[in-house]
Structure 1
Amino acid sequence: MATGLESNMTWLNKKLKADQNFDVVYRVIHVGGKNACIYFIDGFCKDELMQKLLQQFMGITAEDMPKDAHEMSKSFVPYVEVDLKDSWEEILYSLMSGVFALFVDGFDKCILIDSRTYPSRGVEEPEKDKVLRGSKDGFVETIVFNTALIRRRIRSTELVMEMMHAGKSSKTDIVLCYMDNRVDHAFLEKIRDRIKHIQVDALTMNQESLAECLYDRKWYNPFPKFKFTERPDTASAQVLEGNIIILVDNSPSVLIMPTSIFDVVEEADDYYFPPITGTYLRLSRFIIAVLTYLMTPTFLLLMKNPYLIPRGFEFIMVRDTVNIPLIWQFLILELAIDGLRLAAVNTPNMLSTPLSVMAALVLGEFSVNSGWFNSEVMLYMAFVAIANYTQSSYELGYALKFMRILNLILTAVFGIWGYVGGIILCILFMFTNRTVSNQSYVYPLFPFNAKQLAKRLFRLRLPGALDPVRKEKK
């Protein structure tokens, strides 16, 4: 930038299109006998603070006026976050991010005052990641608030919040959060390098756009490569375990890396209850996840091969007339359930209850009475639809759904060999999947580690849980 105010204003007004953008505000003032100009984005700056700063600047006399921007920022700017920049690229980035900019005639640097405030909602509990017991706060769309929620839980000097940017047009703020003494530094450097070399115009879908840039191989494998969470307590626990948390501005969820299948299934409720209860909840979630995958393909296999039905379970046979082949009933209901889910997302709250009752009646009793579906098929698909919500990961739910549909089709075409082949394909998809750090997706199952596997399957007593009184007695 130049030292002359007029040349700086001419260049900046043209660059910012100040005459066209109503929210780009600039005003010429007098500071200590010199002309000065302030620039800011309307809606990002605090009005009360702006008024106090203007009073301070206009109150500077010619005798007290400092000689350069450095002296002025140190002695005459009554604010905490103040910076000096002489690069137009850095000045424009700060200004478009909401930072207050002051240009003074004769100064070779711009004074940047970070007095911005972003519109935001409260840190209430997320709708998806709810817990029966524990903290009820959640991440929001403002990245500074999110980092503060983690800092509140980890008061350690080893906690690092590293700011980065991505997107040619959006210049989206990205924060790498990790414990410096616990993180894998080779993996950290790998992630840092990937973010630096992201060649995209904008992260339009926030963390999902970033995730696709960080992991671009094996896109056809539906099992999730990342774990997303909107809970600060979950994110903090992962940081303390040595993982990396990535926060993206404008997103209320964070990415956890690296992530295995066991990490995805874990939930905060496992640790907010005693070990035996937490173990029961975790194992229940594992078993139900397996049942959601096997329930309908197994039923279809038994209906095609009645001799495989164990003695005493003959009642599971379809008694009514089958007007539509069972495979088509299952596939239609798989699509219908997703249709209802999408409809529920876009339904106004005041209409959600009556429309839910109507959908239950139409798709339940009426569809069976009309002959489109058999009651047994409706029962098993209802279990699958409800059981999908026992774990919080949407990505894992849809991965199991895709594997289940594949198994249904293979079972309908090839019978028992198709059923076995579908299970083998599902296992192969899991075992050949890799984490972002290129580690095994099913560790500690493969490579096998009995101690770590027990820790993953069972909610063990937390380290250091023994109180000092009992230690002294020992």
Structure 2
Amino acid sequence: MMAISTNIFTNIDEFKGRLNCDKNFDIVYRTLTICNRTCALFFVDGFAKDGVMSRIITSFYAIKDENQLKDAHTFSKAAVPYGEVAILHDPDAIITAILSGQSALFVDGFDQAVLIDARTYPQRSTSEPDKDKVFRGSRDGFVETLVLNTALIRRRIRTPDLCVQHISVGSDSKTDIAICYIDGRVDTKLLEKVTNKLKEAKVTALTMNQESVSELLIRKKWYNPFPKFKFTERPDTTAAQLLEGDIAIVVDNSPSVLIVPSTIFHIMEEANDYYFPPLTGTYLRLTRMVIMILTLLLTPTWILLTQFPEVLPNWLSFILITDEIKVPLLLQLLILEIAIDGMKLASLNTPNTLTTSLSIIGAIIVGDYAVQSGWFNSQALLYTAFVTLANYSQPGFELGYALKFMRIFLLIMTGAFNIWGYSIGLVLIFIMLVANKTMSGRCYLYPLIPFDWKVLKRHIFRAQLDSENN
């Protein structure tokens, strides 16, 4: 079918067949009579607002002036009592619109369809995200509905310079994506690069939502786990990044928004830094940076120091193990690294009613019996527990796991080659960070490399609002 027919019965038969109405109970069509003209309305049950559609259909039956049915444009302006109305003549675009939740009205004599966007999607409440929590500030968060997510951003940035560009990706899924940016502040070359990559993407579906989008934008190297995107479920964080000239990519069916470009300093920042006075915000930020370094270096450094007890000063002698070591320390730490993730997966899949009791049992078994059995030494458990908890000081899971992988790599290098392995491991991790590039082509460690004190100062110290604006 190349075009919409002016014969209503031809259109009904064609779209009933293409939408498989006889096989899909939720794709509904009904015929109407408006001013002695036969019409057909196609929509998906569950997407159409029942109350709105009922009033629209009632208004159609009340039309008495045949001049309002002169053509599709006249009809849409004079007879459709709704704000979001469009005219389409491409059958493929009409089918996509129907399956996206819009209602398509075909009128006998019209070679176009009238699209009424009276859709609504099932959604949860805009509650505070579980991961991106704050001590003080907004308690709303993104949900799985694209339009509501963009509205939460619009609520915070009320300027016509805020642009929300729509793109559909996936030959089968036709997933809606919104590219948000502020005109005049955004890097136009980066914006063009992001837009072109998404428009030219040859995929059938975005099966993993925002992760699929990230893999379309950047071809990742498997050996470099450091994230190149900042993921957030907070509208206030997204608005702040947009005001700084970044790009936010909102994907339908996902509560996470991708921010580009993102360096490691962007990924480490969180909303708590800005909901407190500059002194407190700076303290929180510096604490997070110090903990990140300790997360990476604590256990490898401990392994290294235990290999050379003779060089330890007296005030550090407490880190030495006085108990009998039945399992090599390196193997203990590696087993614990894997065991911790096993416990995370078990907790994730445990019913809520059993989570507390099983967590207590797990803590008793690991913390007490594991030491008594001789498998683990108490200090190995202590340091592993610290780095595990410290991982959650980072706003993003991706950065936490990147640090975990680098810590395991450094542990193996240190255990195998002593001080040389420790040194070479640190150098390789540094090279991996420096070689990593953001979507804009900048170094992952910018503004540290290349060094830019003015920008670096803003990432380290929380300045007052008037200073940032200047």
When the two structures are superposed, what TM-score results if normalisation uses the length of structure 1?
A: 0.97
The aligned counterpart of 2:315 is 312
Q: Deviations over 1:305-359 (max 9, x none)?
A: 2123223211211111111111110000000110111111111111111011000
Does residue 262 in structure 1 map to residue 265 in structure 2?
Answer: yes
What amino acid sits opposite 2:20 in the alignment?
Answer: K
Does residue 82 in structure 1 map to residue 85 in structure 2?
Answer: yes
> Counterparts in 2 of 1:388-427, with a 5 A limit?
388-427=391-430
Alignment partners' CA distance in 1, 2:94 and 2:311: 73
The aligned counterpart of 1:472 is none
The aligned counterpart of 1:196 is 199
Q: 1:281 aligns with which of 280, 284, 308?
A: 284
Q: 1:225 aligns with which of 220, 228, 231?
A: 228
What amino acid sits opposite 1:384 in the alignment?
Answer: V
> Counterparts in 2 of 1:241-260, with a 5 A limit?
241-260=244-263
Alignment partners' CA distance in 2, 1:217 and 1:252: 23
**Residue pair 2:138, 2:236 contacting (<8 A) in 1 also:** yes
**Residue pair 2:68, 2:74 contacting (<8 A) in 1 also:** no
What amino acid sits opposite 1:201 in the alignment?
Answer: T
Q: Deviations over 1:393-443 (max 9, x none)?
A: 111101110010001111111011001111111111111100011111111
Structure 1 residue 455: deviation in Å?
Answer: 1.3
Describe the SS at the equivalent of 1:26: strand
The aligned counterpart of 1:30 is 33
Alignment partners' CA distance in 1, 2:401 and 2:319: 27
The aligned counterpart of 1:43 is 46
What amino acid sits opposite 1:328 in the alignment?
Answer: L
Q: Deviations over 1:65-87 (max 9, x none)?
A: 52111111111100000111001
In structure 2, relative to structure 1, the CA distance for the partners of 1:348 and 1:418 (3 Å cut) is same
Gaps of 5+ in 2: none
> Counterparts in 2 of 1:7-406, with a 5 A limit?
7-61=10-64, 63=66, 65-406=68-409
The aligned counterpart of 1:439 is 442
Structure 1 residue 218: deviation in Å?
Answer: 2.5
In structure 2, relative to structure 1, the CA distance for the partners of 1:335 and 1:217 (3 Å cut) is closer
Q: Equivalent pairs: percent with the same residue? A: 53
Structure 1 residue 196: deviation in Å?
Answer: 0.5
Question: What RMSD, in angstroms, separates the aligned Cα atoms of the two structures?
Answer: 1.2
Describe the SS at the equivalent of 2:69: coil
**Residue pair 1:174, 1:247 contacting (<8 A) in 2 also:** yes
Alignment partners' CA distance in 2, 1:272 and 1:327: 41
**Residue pair 2:38, 2:108 contacting (<8 A) in 1 also:** yes
Q: Which moved more, 1:229-238 or 1:59-68?
A: 59-68
Describe the SS at the equivalent of 1:332: helix
Describe the SS at the equivalent of 2:41: strand
Structure 1 residue 63: deviation in Å?
Answer: 4.3
Alignment partners' CA distance in 1, 2:188 and 2:199: 16
Q: 2:433 aligns with which of 424, 430, 433?
A: 430
Gaps of 5+ in 1: 467-474
Structure 1 stretches (4+) deviating beyond 6 angstroms? none
In structure 2, relative to structure 1, the CA distance for the partners of 1:464 and 1:443 (3 Å cut) is closer
**Residue pair 2:68, 2:78 contacting (<8 A) in 1 also:** no
**Residue pair 2:437, 2:443 contacting (<8 A) in 1 also:** yes
What amino acid sits opposite 1:444 in the alignment?
Answer: P
Structure 1 residue 454: deviation in Å?
Answer: 1.3
Does residue 463 in structure 1 map to residue 466 in structure 2?
Answer: yes
When the two structures are superposed, what TM-score results if normalisation uses the length of structure 2?
A: 0.97
Alignment partners' CA distance in 2, 1:7 and 1:310: 90
The count of residues paired between Structure 1 and Structure 2 equals: 466
Alignment partners' CA distance in 2, 1:217 and 1:207: 14
Alignment partners' CA distance in 2, 1:465 and 1:21: 56
Alignment partners' CA distance in 1, 2:466 and 2:96: 46
